[in-house]
Amino acid sequence: MNSKLTIRAARREDSALILQFIRELAEYERLLHEVTATEQQLAEAIFGPRPFAEVVIAEWDSEAAGFALFFANFSTFLASPGMYLEDLFVRPEFRGEGIGKALLAHLAGIVIRRGWGRLDWSVLDWNRPAIEFYDRIGARHLDDWLQYRLDGPALGEVAGFAAPGGNE
């Protein structure tokens, strides 16, 4: 029997599956303790009146095998939107079948069809299998850029610097 891969847009009823994929990815990345998202929060953020992200699901013989969660960003240099890939995950039992590459190809196609300028993502520096995969497909590692994050108490502290009565 030949296995068949399909990639489809996620639906609201996939919210529990998306959260499960997020947890599996976080466990692989040794970050499960940081996952606080709930199924309801995800459903609202992805499928609510103002969606903040999109998700595609890879199915192998109709079984959920992987997913990608992404959202639009913006390049001032290109004066064009781009795609930021937040999460890409293929369950271990489905790895080696080309699903990760198919997900990236699907996302690249979305970028092109939408007329966007680029596809960006981050990878943990210890994740050699992912880094080697990205190198093999021709992705560029941006050595001269460091990623920063402002969250938790520091985020609140910096927000306190805002001018009184400031607008969004």
Read off the amino acid at residue 122. S
* Catalytically annotated residue among 28, 84, 134, 148: 134
Residues whose CB falls within 8 Å of the CB of residue 111, separated by 6 or more in sequence, listed in order: 82, 83, 117, 118, 119
Side-chain-side CA neighbours of residue 51 (13 Å) = 13
SS3 86: strand
Active site residue 134: yes
pLDDT, tens only, 17-58 = 999 999 999 999 999 999 999 999 999 999 999 999 999 999
* Residue spans per domain, the chain: 5-159
Q: How far apart are CA 70 and CA 34, in angstroms?
A: 19
Q: What is the CATH number of domain 5-159?
A: 3.40.630.30
Q: What percent of the chain has pLDDT over 90?
A: 83
pLDDT interval class at 165 (50, 70, 90): low
pTM score:
0.91
